[in-house]
Homo-oligomer: A and B are copies of this chain.
Amino acid sequence: MSNARELAQAKIFFALGDVTRLSVLRNISSKGALSASALAVGSHVSRQAIAKHLRVLERARLVGHEKRGREVLYALRPERFDDVRAFLDAVSARWDRALERLRSSLEEPDPETESKK
């Protein structure tokens, strides 16, 4: 039930569930690859806090890093967002089917299929 895929999904969503991290993602998605220090400049928290957030984002594989001289640049990995979309689509689809089942069972009592229970 709680296999590795679902755990990875939860990790991704967890990484997205913080305003500071969302702001970090917005920054590197609009301005390109940035260092932890650069990201901390416009932020209201310290550089070390940003570094921690970057580690969370990286463990969720939403960003990657690359050593560039004496600084470390963090960049987006947008391909991971497809997994998130897949989850959303799956849930929505299941929900639509559940609604459809409910609707048909209400509008049309249909004793044949009803007798299955």
Contact = CB atoms under 8 A, between A and B. Distances in A.
Interface string A90-117: 0110111111011000000000000000
| Central interface residue in A17, A92, A98, by most chain B CB within 10 Å | A17
Interface residues of A, number: 39
Secondary structure of the A side of the interface? helix
B85 A26 contact: no
A14 B2 CA distance: 18
Interface in A76-90: 76, 78, 81, 84-85, 88
Q: Please tell me how many copies of the chain the complex holds.
A: 2
A6 B12 CA distance: 17
Interface of A: 1-2, 6-7, 9-19, 22-23, 25-26, 29-32, 76, 78, 81, 84-85, 88, 91-92, 94-99, 101-102
